[in-house]
Amino acid sequence: MPRTQKNRIEKKGIRVDALADIVEQAKRDCPVQPSAGAGGEGGKKIPRITIAGVGGAGCNALNNLKGIESAMTLAINTDVANLRAIDAHKRILLATESTKGLGAGGSPEIGMKCAEECKEEIKKALEGTELLFITAGLGGGTGTGAAPVIAEAAKEMGATVIAAVNYPFSIERVRIPKADWGLDALFRSCDSVIVLDHNRLAQMVPTLQLNQAFFVADSIVARALKGVSDAIMLPSLVNIGFDDVRAIAGCGGLATIAVGEGSGAFKVEDAVKDTFKNVLLEADCKAAKGALVHITAGSSVSMKEIGEAAERMRKEFAPRTAIAVGAHREERLKDKMLVTAIAAGISSPKIKVTQTVSDVEKEKIAMEIANS
Ligand SMILES: Nc1nc2c(ncn2[C@@H]2O[C@H](COP(=O)(O)OP(=O)(O)OP(=O)(O)O)[C@@H](O)[C@H]2O)c(=O)[nH]1
Ligand SMILES: [Mg+2]
């Protein structure tokens, strides 16, 4: 810029020009530095989050979390062959006399019995866990039967427990009542149950083959759980407090995941709109009691755009919705922004919430009072 023009602007008291120079220099010379993490006091990572995959589908979902630093991964199955193929920090074979490492054969009763027999081993593996995510596919034997026992074990140890489960396709007929049975048991044992309905996924992307649908479902669950876990534990652009996650999970009952993305000039608007279009369960997400929102921003997405996306997301939810927002940068996304929201305390015509963990706890206390 010619010196005379610069002086003219400065004389008018407009500092924009000077600031623009500094901003340019900052962009050129200062690599993006993450802020200090909420969970990383003194730069030390505290391993207090566990993501447990249960049964075939649950363990497969862990394969998308390879290399995760913010959480310990734990694979649990009755099927030794499946377990061997899973890359996780810890593995537990629910081995009993009856199953002999061959799976629960589609029986949730057997899955549950195996987990009960191995409950001490499960508790040992969960030692120190303050937040437990459980992933499983509902409708089979191991995931459906064992997941509620694992949740119960973690609750007994004082952890906050969030399950993220897949609901079977309608064509998997015999699996539906088993899935409903499993959901009922999970509502009673978990703080929140995230349901990702495979049927909904098939409506959203009708061209997918079965194995591709499974892959997409597993990737979405992994993205949501890793997003929250990283935002608590690792240095991020914006961290999520552990207490916020506890409070939002405590909204109780049914939850689901919504995902969106945007790029270009309207990336913020597009990502937010897209998120409320791609809700993985038939439910009114905007009426959620609580929401965990996570924004992943590419290298050229500005902090202003991230802030705008957070603000727009807040405005879309009902005024009473408790919201926590986290954000981190992923250079490889370049101009793209991804939004992932876990909406908790929702209702859906598809899923009946019978009794929640807090109902069960209240009942227990009432019984103790009555018996004393
Ligand atoms: N998302 C996802 N879902 C899957 C996958 N494999 C199976 N499912 C679904 O998950 C449900 C349970 O299947 P599995 O996880 O294989 O069953 P399991 O818990 O291992 O039970 P058993 O084999 O009977 O002991 C099924 O109804 C499928 O719809 C997978 O890789 N990803
Ligand atoms: Mg299996």
Ordered DSSP codes for 252-295: -SEEEEEEEEE-STTHHHHHHHHHHH-BSSSS-GGG-SEEEEEE
3-state secondary structure of 194: strand
- The answer to whether 344 and 259 are in contact (CB under 8 A) is no
Q: Concatenated DSSP letters for 95-121?
A: --TTTTTB--TT-HHHHHHHHHHTHHH
The response to whether residue 57 sits with its C-beta less than 6 Å from ligand 1 reads: yes
Q: Is residue 304 part of a domain?
A: no
Q: Is residue 87 part of a domain?
A: yes
- Residues sharing a CB contact under 8 Å with residue 59, sequence separation 6 or more, in sequence order: 53, 75, 76, 77, 82, 83, 86, 88
pTM of this structure: 0.87
Q: Is residue 29 part of a domain?
A: no
Distance 178 CA to ligand 2 centre (A): 14
Q: Is residue 128 part of a domain?
A: yes
Strand ranges inside 140-199, DSSP E: 160-167, 192-197
Neighbours of ion ligand 2 (CB under 5 A): 56, 79, 103
Q: Which residue lies with its CA nearest to atom 17 of ligand 1?
A: 140
* CA nearest to 295, candidates 237, 356, 241: 237
Q: How many domains does the chain have?
A: 1
pLDDT given at position 355 = 78
pLDDT given at position 362 = 79
pLDDT given at position 75 = 97
Tell me, rounded to whole angstroms, the distance of Cα 177 from its chain centroid. Answer: 25
Geometric angle at alpha carbon 301, from 260 and 272, rounded to 5°? 25
Phi first, then psi: what are they for 194, rounded to 5°?
-85, 125
The response to whether residue 166 sits with its C-beta less than 6 Å from ligand 1 reads: yes
Angstrom distance (rounded) from CA 355 to CA 363: 10
- What is the pLDDT tens value at each position of the chain, 372 positions in all? 444 444 444 444 434 455 666 656 656 665 544 443 344 444 444 548 999 999 999 999 999 999 999 999 999 999 999 999 999 999 999 977 778 888 889 999 999 999 999 999 999 999 999 999 999 999 999 999 999 999 999 999 999 999 999 999 998 889 999 999 999 999 999 999 999 999 999 998 888 888 888 999 999 999 999 999 999 999 889 999 999 999 998 887 999 999 999 999 999 999 999 999 999 999 999 999 999 999 999 999 999 999 999 999 999 999 999 999 999 999 999 999 999 999 999 999 999 888 788 787 777 788 888 888
Distance 96 CA to ligand 2 centre (A): 15
Distance 142 CA to ligand 1 centre (A): 9
Q: Is residue 120 part of a domain?
A: yes
CATH of the domain at 136: 3.40.50.1440
The response to whether residue 175 sits with its C-beta less than 6 Å from ligand 1 reads: yes
Q: Which domain range does residue 203 map to?
A: 44-237
The response to whether residue 172 sits with its C-beta less than 6 Å from ligand 1 reads: yes
- The answer to whether 298 and 366 are in contact (CB under 8 A) is no
pLDDT given at position 39 = 41
3-state secondary structure of 209: coil
Q: What kind and span of H or E run contains 325?
A: strand 322-329
Q: What kind and span of H or E run contains 342?
A: strand 337-346
Angstrom distance (rounded) from CA 36 to CA 54: 33
The response to whether residue 105 sits with its C-beta less than 6 Å from ligand 1 reads: yes
Angstrom distance (rounded) from CA 139 to CA 174: 8
Q: Is residue 178 part of a domain?
A: yes
Q: Is residue 9 part of a domain?
A: no
Q: Is residue 194 part of a domain?
A: yes
The response to whether residue 182 sits with its C-beta less than 6 Å from ligand 1 reads: no
